[in-house]
Structure 1
Amino acid sequence: MAEIRFADNYQDLSQQDGVDAGFQFEFYCERCNDRWRTRFRPYRSGQASGWVSKAAGMFGGVLGGASSALEGMAQAGFNSARDEAFSAAIEEAKSHFHRCGSCFQYVCASCFDSARGMCYHCAPSVNVAIAAARAQGEIQGATEAAMAEGIARGKQRDVRREQQLVCARCATETHGAKFCPECGTPTGVKPVCSACSAEMQPGARFCPECGHRQHQQST
């Protein structure tokens, strides 16, 4: 048989033996990864071996010798039959895929610029590039406008007022609210030590002045 020239953009789905024995190959575009599969070509020797094996199992191994003989014949002829099927598959695939003159990848018709002889990865469509750039520009412009709006809003916030971010009573995070969302305690009230009345940080378990252990109030 003559030499077989092929690329690596395919998957061999062939099966050597069994009732489903046959040859089938799946090729894919190396740009968009779309798949194209050849029609299934049955491998008769492998199928015959599979059917005889099934029959041998049904009849208690009476046909075991015939099954082994057919299996041996199927194995012996598989490689040459596969090469023949693969050569035919490559010829079929040539009408579905094109080789880029720049990167030498095989791509489908949708990813190939026949006028330039290159894939759209190496020779992008100008119209597509313009549309993509326009979309990126809109995103950038909207982002800049949103940031400007956010800066304007931020300048209106009172950043000098101290905010109590943890409730002094139940230690729940308040996120700057005037009242605790868990127990309703006003957040402006600072906790004090139950023993010496010294001001304490919210959630502190011991007084920093006298060391007295604080008892957390339940909600």
Structure 2
Amino acid sequence: MSDDSAYKFSNNYTDLSNSSGVDAGFQFEFYCERCSDRWRTTFKPYRSAQASGWLSKGGGIFVGLLGNASSVLNGLAEAGWHSARDGAFKDAIAEGKQHFNRCSACHDYVCGTCFDSERGLCFNCAPNVRVAITRSRAQGEVQSASEVAHDEGRSRGVRHDVRQEMQLVCPHCRAETHGAKFCPECGFKMAQQIQCRSCSTSLEPGTKFCTECGERQG
């Protein structure tokens, strides 16, 4: 495989490498482009930078000798970092290809769980038939149940007096009442309006005659 094709595979990765200090080394994390499950390469130490880091830690005791040695090693580590990182990266790609598959249709790299090896396609491009059947059945069940529930709601809705005006906020403590006759927070009695039996005009409770058409209410 050429370098160009190898680096195409590197689109779905995170570089966890560290170039300096006693924990310097190379590590890469790849992820499935379908389910996002991640796989991480084994950490490979970068010995040159680690040696420099250990000498720097001991520099407080032998400042002159160890300090100069640390500077030299640090310079060598920095000079060799990029080529060492490229080598480690290529090894990581080769190792990662044992865990990921390239879909021949969408060209995404996916894990074994998301890949149909017989067809050479990921399950986004070639969904599993049994999964698709089960999902469609569940979707149809939800849709049908929603339609039945909607019809049931319509039948229940006709039982409500939608002309009745209600106070939804208590004028005394400003709590939400949800149309209750008394405030659930302070017990304040809500002013529930009534409808004229003749012309449906909204009237205050206790009104004997409609203020719009004069019809007796009691």
State yes or no: 1:26 paired with 2:32. Answer: no
What is the CA-CA distance between 1:132 and the residue it aligns to?
Answer: 0.9
What is the CA-CA distance between 1:68 and the residue it aligns to?
Answer: 0.5
Residue 85 of structure 1 aligns to a residue in which SS?
helix
- In 2 relative to 1, CA 166–133 (structure 1 residues): closer, same or farther, beyond 3 Å? closer
- Name the counterpart of 2:136: 133
- Name the counterpart of 1:87: 90
Of the three residues 112, 116, 119, the one matched with 2:115 is 112
- In 2 relative to 1, CA 168–44 (structure 1 residues): closer, same or farther, beyond 3 Å? closer
Contact 1:13 1:26 in 2 (8 A): yes
Residue 137 of structure 1 aligns to a residue in which SS?
helix
TM superposition score normalised by structure 1 = 0.77
Q: How does 1:128-167 map to 2 (within 5 A)?
A: 128-160=131-163, 162-165=164-167
State yes or no: 1:53 paired with 2:56. Answer: yes
Residue 30 of structure 2 aligns to a residue in which SS?
strand
Contact 1:170 1:183 in 2 (8 A): no
- Name the counterpart of 1:9: 12
Residue 187 of structure 1 aligns with an amino acid whose one-letter code is: A
Tell me the distance in 2 between the aligned counterparts of 1:168 and 1:85.
70
Deviations 1:82-105 (A, max 9, x none): 122112111111110010000111
- In 2 relative to 1, CA 31–58 (structure 1 residues): closer, same or farther, beyond 3 Å? farther
The number of equivalent residue pairs is 190
State yes or no: 1:63 paired with 2:66. Answer: yes
Deviations 1:96-147 (A, max 9, x none): 0010000111111011111111111111111111111111111111111111
TM superposition score normalised by structure 2 = 0.77
Task: Point out the structure with the larger helix share.
Answer: 2
Deviations 1:139-181 (A, max 9, x none): 1111111111111111122334x33426897375543333444
Q: Extract unaligned runs of 5+ from structure 2.
A: 195-202, 205-218
Of the three residues 75, 96, 99, the one matched with 2:99 is 96
**Which deviates further from its counterpart, 171-180 or 145-154?**
171-180
Tell me the distance in 2 between the aligned counterparts of 1:149 and 1:59.
86
How much is the aligned-residue C-alpha RMSD, in angstroms? Answer: 2.6
Tell me the distance in 2 between the aligned counterparts of 1:55 and 1:42.
20
Residue 158 of structure 1 aligns to a residue in which SS?
coil
State yes or no: 1:177 paired with 2:176. Answer: no
- Name the counterpart of 2:216: none
Deviations 1:192-215 (A, max 9, x none): xxxxxxxx99xxxxxxxxxxxxxx
Of the three residues 17, 40, 44, the one matched with 2:43 is 40
What is the CA-CA distance between 1:26 and the residue it aligns to?
Answer: 0.9
Tell me the distance in 2 between the aligned counterparts of 1:166 and 1:36.
55
- Name the counterpart of 1:197: none
Tell me the distance in 2 between the aligned counterparts of 1:167 and 1:22.
65
